[in-house]
Amino acid sequence: MEIDRRSVQNFDWVFLGIVFVLMAAGVVNLVSATHSGVEGGVSDIVRRQGFAIAVSVGAMLVVLAIDYRHFERLAPFLFAASLALLGATLVIAPITRGAQAWLFQGRFQPSELAKIAMVLALARHFNRNPPGDYTSLRQLGPPLLIVALPVSMILAQKDMGVALLTLFVALTFLPFVRVPLRAWAALAVAASGALAALWAFGLKTYQQQRILDFLYPERDPLSSGYQAMQSRIAVGSGGLFGQGWTEGTQTQLRFLPTQHTDFIFSVLAEEWGFAGSCAVLGLYCAMLLWGLWIARNAKDGFGALLAVGLVGTLFWPAAINVAMVLGLAPVIGVPLPLFSYGGSALLAAGISLGLLLNVSMRRYVF
């Protein structure tokens, strides 16, 4: 444990306050999402979420207490451990909801932690091999391998949504990489061919259906397009100020699918309206922009790169989830950070936030 007096004096209380407000708002929203059919008190889902929040805050405090510079040395071991967990999942995990992605009877999803381990490994690599020095795609071999290993293993688990999310998190580092345009053109051609092959041979029928439903949601409104259609109805029915807490018809009558996980933002939009949605999105923007401020003011290159990657672990699931709910992206099962029910995602968010606070708190420590 390495928290000195100066670090405590520079603790980022504003950032922590934004995080706790978002967590509290998420619990209030989850109570409403699970309110129907519960007589008195709160549902078991809310109780389990409360326990997950406690574990998440505990993990945040643990990573906060360890100087983040130690994580640069530990990054290869943590990355290897995350790959081992993904491998173990492929061997012993049962198939749940079409994916082989959960351990301990559906209580733990290793791919959530693999994203953070990947960010640590990429931040370490780019700190020791400055990304602005690359002149060809061949030099990107090591970081591409760091990304390809977890993404391919998550794809093998048949969890397309998390695999895409992990890839997007890795792309957060892309603005720092300067490679000749002709090399990117060659990569784009190769990627196009890979996508065509993935569509033809890699995607299951239901995964193809989700993409087609995104493009044409009206093609099967009572079956494959049901989720997207009901979500849009809920968002639209919220109007300017919403129908009121626990008063949303789509939510309380259970028309919304998975309303406590993937479509939790639909509940917010229906019951708190455009004004409430904008307020919550404003908090997310404040948290993410504050994270970039932490990156800008980090005391060293590793801290800056780490903070940028960690912002990516929070930005991409939030952006994809909201776009998914509004019908702007296919339904791929990505939870909304700090809002959606789920222990693994909340634990991963707690670790990311703890590392961001770690970088911020030690920006003046030498």
Residue 63 lies in a domain: yes
Residue 50 lies in a domain: yes
Give tens-digit pLDDT for 310-350: 999 999 999 999 998 888 887 787 899 999 998 899 999 99
Give tens-digit pLDDT for 99-114: 788 887 778 899 999 9
Count other C-beta atoms under 10 Å from residue 354's C-beta. Answer: 24
Residue 231 lies in a domain: yes
DSSP line for 217-263: GGGSTTTTTHHHHHHHHHHHHTTTT-S-TT--HHHHTT-STTTTTTT
Grade residue 225 by pLDDT with cuts at 50, 70 and 90: low
Tokens 């995350």 label which residue?
A: 82
Residue 31 lies in a domain: yes
Q: How many Å apart are CA 194 and CA 343, to the nearest integer?
A: 33
For residue 148, the enclosing domain spans: 5-361
Helix boundaries (H) for 34-159: 44-65, 68-92, 110-128, 141-156
Residue 143 lies in a domain: yes
Tokens at 117, concatenated: 């381990």
Whole-number pLDDT of residue 287: 96
Q: How many Å apart are CA 96 and CA 195, to the nearest integer?
A: 26
What single-letter amino acid sits at 312?
G
Residue 366 lies in a domain: no
pTM for this predicted structure = 0.87
Q: Give the total number of structural domains in the chain.
A: 1
Q: How large is the average pLDDT for residues 221-248?
A: 78
Residue 344 lies in a domain: yes
Residue 193 lies in a domain: yes
